[in-house]
Amino acid sequence: MTDPQLTHLRADGSAHMVDVSAKPVTARRAVAQAVLVTRPEVVAAVLTGELPKGEAVGTARIAGIMAAKQTSTLIPLCHPLPITKVAVDITGADDRLTVLATVATNGVTGVEMEALTAATVAALTLYDMIKAVDKLAEITGVKVLEKQGGKSGDWVRS
Amino acid sequence: MTDPQLTHLRADGSAHMVDVSAKPVTARRAVAQAVLVTRPEVVAAVLTGELPKGEAVGTARIAGIMAAKQTSTLIPLCHPLPITKVAVDITGADDRLTVLATVATNGVTGVEMEALTAATVAALTLYDMIKAVDKLAEITGVKVLEKQGGKSGDWVRS
Amino acid sequence: MTDPQLTHLRADGSAHMVDVSAKPVTARRAVAQAVLVTRPEVVAAVLTGELPKGEAVGTARIAGIMAAKQTSTLIPLCHPLPITKVAVDITGADDRLTVLATVATNGVTGVEMEALTAATVAALTLYDMIKAVDKLAEITGVKVLEKQGGKSGDWVRS
Amino acid sequence: MTDPQLTHLRADGSAHMVDVSAKPVTARRAVAQAVLVTRPEVVAAVLTGELPKGEAVGTARIAGIMAAKQTSTLIPLCHPLPITKVAVDITGADDRLTVLATVATNGVTGVEMEALTAATVAALTLYDMIKAVDKLAEITGVKVLEKQGGKSGDWVRS
Amino acid sequence: MTDPQLTHLRADGSAHMVDVSAKPVTARRAVAQAVLVTRPEVVAAVLTGELPKGEAVGTARIAGIMAAKQTSTLIPLCHPLPITKVAVDITGADDRLTVLATVATNGVTGVEMEALTAATVAALTLYDMIKAVDKLAEITGVKVLEKQGGKSGDWVRS
Amino acid sequence: MTDPQLTHLRADGSAHMVDVSAKPVTARRAVAQAVLVTRPEVVAAVLTGELPKGEAVGTARIAGIMAAKQTSTLIPLCHPLPITKVAVDITGADDRLTVLATVATNGVTGVEMEALTAATVAALTLYDMIKAVDKLAEITGVKVLEKQGGKSGDWVRS
């Protein structure tokens, strides 16, 4: 079996932002997830953010949407992309809050990193709001769930 | 049992950046972790970043250090803090890379969010570099491991 | 009567960030306002953001809070300040939405610009959300309402 | 009459960055205004910025141009756009300074928010420079004056 | 001989971001250089960054790559461009470290400023790392070496 | 002679932001320079920026002042500092424009990097404005001229 080659490293091992000049612009989309594990009563307190008296969920959603636009600023070797859509959905059940981020672009590279960044920053924002009531909270399950467009085509995590 | 109160929400449920004007400046420190789960041969490819021919680990480290300084820009209700130290350590074993981020400040609030942001962005940067060879990779175990300073005193996750 | 001297311009007329090295750190606070004038039914549509089915108000609030932290990045001659509190309140009546932003710091300069920036960006965010239904909307009444701390002491707009 | 629908809110009231993936790229342009009301002698002091000994006007102009490029960072639900032109014109008469910002792009959405952001930040920068000599100054008349391109076609405020 | 006209200034001398709306998108590329002059033993200490025990060179490289993406944020009249490639190469000999930055885009303006910004920030990052051991270090030779694409065609500095 | 040790690298060669938590806050100041070499008639065209019909010098000055505030965002291992003063002076003679940047803080580390960043970005902004009339321009002489405060005391380049 061949060793995996990291495309972000050149032959001499140095990092670079790979040349995507010749890649075609196509419609791309990715969905990613992050899960915040806490206690059931904390989940309940956060979800009142969907009721008249709470903005916790909306605050995390906006943080995720804004973070998607900062992806190429945060991740050193990411290309800047003209993002055309971001949606962040947050649901809760039992002891966990699940963040789903969907990002689309018409671009030369995929938007998995944008979706992962949106989901992660939304989860960190939820963490920030609950850390005073649960210092044992943990973010887990940060992963890409599906992706469309580009050379590798459509893909759904099985 | 009383319901947990989210301090970032006011009585009417609206979000705010809480007033810390009267809190004393103290030396604070936090350590947080993020774990990237992938395949053993991908871990090996990344860790060559510590050998002459690879900068994967160093790139993720710098991304984490720079992200710590952007925490209050990313997390809406975080206070800006004068960070006095950031260290990001990345180790690998079996199928996973573990990021440990240590942040210190002399400030009025703690630096857990800064440590979590550093660890998470370093892990996302590693993810970015391996996503072409492992689209099933996942970030997990994002949590605070220890914290010193402030009213609540020293704490180590047990 | 003497002509007013602009402190941000030196004797030769060139702009500079004035030296505040010798000024004492004191507790400071400012409240500023911005008013978005639109149509009554648009105000009603926005204010449902305080009901279960709408996040318009919360989104503008978060935008204002985050903008307060970007003030010294946006306004060329502003000094960076360690903001200790930001609150953004949005109310509606008749044909207008009123944004009130309150900012506090322990710093060497006042936080009027931070409060004005928060109020203005919150109002621009509301504008962004209603522009498809009212292209004639207008932001007006952007001003400081009160200010505490610093050499000039407490002041309330009469 | 139907209630106005805010396009930035989904059916459940949550905010999102709307999907513009399928919209065509067209040449777009917008002009927006912001007016700073102060005292005549302060207007005179600022306008010497167009004379050899003053950079007040130029400083505000550059702040506005740079802010136009930060619009999608400041306004949560704005799409990033490849801005192709920004001009900021500042004139004074009587007790007021008028900022006109013109922005163009070849993009899928309009540039009203970019023009409004440029005009507003330029006006805030003027405010910052005069606040020591007029704490009663006020920004008013922030509105779009004209807009070209896109599905809704050309429009001039009457 | 005619006086040179600065295109970034309008007829009245005011600065603007020039209108490039009508310019065609073409493949463009630029290479720029910056040279850090220090002492031979400092060059040796930095270059161990290419050995297992040092990350100085990699840190400067990442700083340069990330700075290229911030060019239009830093340089007031620069247009934002969709960068498609950044490579930063750092070599040392005798008493100097030479940074070469290569940037590509498919855009309406050239990427000389992006390449210069990448080279300069990489050199400043090297300076930051050596300033404790050489306060006399100096950056020199910041210039464009070659450029391809656009109306003016290919050019190599002779 | 002992080899110079780079303080930004730990014993294992990895980069970190060094811990300055225990360092005292003192008044600090630094002056740095950057020189743009071009042709005499281009220098003349730029310097009309100090006349009624040109804003070239003022634009570069503002770019330098704003860049000083971005130093810790650009240079990975720089600590964020509360800058209390920035002045950028630009003079021309013969074939060159000289930028002098002065930065002050009350902080735990020096402001050489802030002064160098201000001088360099101002010079790059001048470069941007003249590149259409002189593609052979070059930035040189980027160095610290003097520095006050901190453990190492006052220092003037001889």
- The CA distance from C125 to the nearest CA of chain D, in Å, is 6
Its domain, for residue A33, covers: 26-150
The model's pLDDT over A68-91, given as tens digits with 9 standing for 90+, comes to 999 999 999 999 999 999 999 999
With CA atoms as reference, the chain D residue closest to A26 would be D21
Interface of D with A (CB under 8 A): 10, 14-21, 72-73, 76-77, 79-82, 108
CA torsion E104-E108-E112-E115 (nearest 10°) is -40
With CA atoms as reference, the chain A residue closest to E105 would be A21
Q: Which of A70, A85, A88 has its CB closest to that of D21? A: A85
DSSP readout, E75-102?
STTPPP--EEEEEEEEEEETTEEEEEEE
* Residues in chain C closer than 8 A to F27 (CB atoms): 21
A41 labelled ligand-binding: no
How high is the pLDDT of residue E151?
82
Q: Which of D51, D58, D66 has its CB closest to that of F55? A: D58
Which chains, if any, share at least 3 CB pairs under 8 A with chain D? A, C, E, F
E6 to F45: CB separation less than 8 angstroms, yes or no: yes
The model's pLDDT over A15-52, given as tens digits with 9 standing for 90+, comes to 999 999 999 999 999 999 999 999 999 999 888 755 44
**What radius of gyration, in Å, describes the C-alpha atoms of chain C?**
17
Report if residue E154 sits inside a domain. no
Report if residue C30 sits inside a domain. no
Residue F47 pLDDT exceeds 90: no
* Residues in chain C closer than 8 A to F66 (CB atoms): 73, 76
Q: Residue B95 sits in a domain of what CATH number? A: 3.30.70.640
Burial C95-105 (b: 16+ CB within 10 A, else e): ebbbbbbbbbb
* Averaged pLDDT for residues F36-62: 83
Report if residue D1 sits inside a domain. no
By the 8 A CB rule, do B125 and B60 touch?
Answer: yes
Distance CA F100, CA F111 (A): 14
Report if residue C157 sits inside a domain. no
The model's pLDDT over F7-21, given as tens digits with 9 standing for 90+, comes to 888 888 889 999 999
Distance CA A124, CA D124 (A): 32
* Averaged pLDDT for residues F36-49: 89
Distance CA B93, CA B96 (A): 6
The model's pLDDT over B1-53, given as tens digits with 9 standing for 90+, comes to 456 788 888 888 889 999 999 999 999 999 999 999 999 999 998 887 554 44
Q: Is the dihedral of CA D142, D143, D146, D151 positive or negative?
A: positive
How high is the pLDDT of residue C48?
77
The model's pLDDT over E23-54, given as tens digits with 9 standing for 90+, comes to 999 999 999 999 999 999 999 988 875 544 46
By the 8 A CB rule, do A78 and B128 touch?
Answer: yes
- The CA distance from A62 to the nearest CA of chain B, in Å, is 9
How high is the pLDDT of residue D1?
44
Which chains, if any, share at least 3 CB pairs under 8 A with chain C? A, B, D, F
With CA atoms as reference, the chain C residue closest to A61 would be C59
How high is the pLDDT of residue F75?
97
* Averaged pLDDT for residues F67-90: 96
Is residue F89 exposed (0-12), middle (13-18) or buried (19+ Cβ within 10 Å)?
buried
By the 8 A CB rule, do E144 and F23 touch?
Answer: no
Report if residue B19 sits inside a domain. no
How high is the pLDDT of residue B10?
87
* Averaged pLDDT for residues D18-37: 95
Report if residue B61 sits inside a domain. yes
The CB-side HSE value for C50 (13 A sphere, CA atoms) comes to: 12
Distance CA D49, CA D65 (A): 17
The model's pLDDT over C144-156, given as tens digits with 9 standing for 90+, comes to 999 999 887 899 9
Judged by average pLDDT, the poorest of C122-131, D8-17, D112-121 is D8-17
Residue F123 pLDDT exceeds 90: yes
How high is the pLDDT of residue A77?
96
How high is the pLDDT of residue A52?
44
C45 to D75: CB separation less than 8 angstroms, yes or no: no
Quick one: DSSP state of residue D150? Answer: S
How high is the pLDDT of residue C49?
57
Which amino acid would we find at residue F56?
Answer: A
By the 8 A CB rule, do D117 and D75 touch?
Answer: yes
Report if residue E68 sits inside a domain. yes
How high is the pLDDT of residue B55?
87
Residues 6+ apart with CB under 8 A from E133: E42, E45, F4, F5, F6
In sequence order, what are the beta bridge partners of A27? Answer: A106
B113 labelled ligand-binding: yes
Selecting among E19, E128, E134, E154, the annotated active-site residue is: E128
C62 to B14: CB separation less than 8 angstroms, yes or no: no
* Residues in chain E closer than 8 A to D86 (CB atoms): 16-17
The CB-side HSE value for E22 (13 A sphere, CA atoms) comes to: 1
User: Tokens at residue F28, please?
Assistant: 């600090």
* Domains contained in chain D, number: 1
By the 8 A CB rule, do B113 and A124 touch?
Answer: yes
The model's pLDDT over C47-84, given as tens digits with 9 standing for 90+, comes to 875 544 468 999 999 999 999 999 999 999 999 999 99
Higher-pLDDT residue of B111 and B152 is: B111
Interface of F with C (CB under 8 A): 27, 57-58, 61-62, 65-66, 68-70, 82-89, 104-106
Selecting among B3, B12, B94, B128, the annotated active-site residue is: B128
Residues 6+ apart with CB under 8 A from A55: A49, B9, B13, B14, B15, C55, C58, C61, C62
Percent of chain F with pLDDT over 70: 94
